[in-house]
């Protein structure tokens, strides 16, 4: 028998924004749907994304939102979006897809 693991789920872990380390709250279905429908292709969409993404961090949401606004690109926001929706596995799949589409060998 093989001890290889095909699928693994981890606990919710801290996310670091500059010096701030925060743990996202557990998402309810409404918040998950809001996250899934974010459109980061417009300025209004990025501003909405900052609002929705930062609201996933409860008491630290103001500091997180400020950090996002001052330091994060729309690509970084979309990586955070993927992480909050599905964890590291979804981020890995998203980045692999982006590299394949761009013709970058990983």
Domain residues of the chain, as ranges? 27-99
Cα gap 89→7, rounded to integer Å: 9
Residues 51-95: tens digit of each pLDDT: 999 999 988 899 999 999 999 999 899 999 999 998 888 888 877
Confidence of residue 104 (pLDDT cuts 50, 70, 90): very low
Question: What distances in angstroms separate CA 36 from CA 52, 66, 78, one per listed residue?
Answer: 11, 22, 10
**pTM of the predicted model as reported, rounded to 2 decimal places:** 0.82
- DSSP letter for each residue of 10-50: -----EEETTEEE-PPPPPHHHHHHHHT--TTSHHHHHHHH
């Amino acid at each position: 028998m093989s001890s290889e693991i095909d699928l693994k789920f981890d606990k919710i872990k801290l996310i670091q924004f500059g010096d701030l380390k925060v743990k996202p709250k557990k998402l309810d279905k409404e918040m998950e749907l809001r996250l899934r429908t974010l459109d980061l292709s417009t300025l209004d969409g990025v501003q909405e994304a900052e609002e929705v993404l930062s609201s996933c961090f409860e008491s630290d949401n103001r500091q997180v939102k400020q950090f996002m606004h001052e330091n994060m690109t729309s690509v970084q926001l979309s990586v955070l979006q993927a992480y909050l929706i599905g964890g590291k596995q979804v981020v890995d799949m998203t980045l692999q897809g982006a590299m394949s589409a761009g013709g970058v060998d990983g």
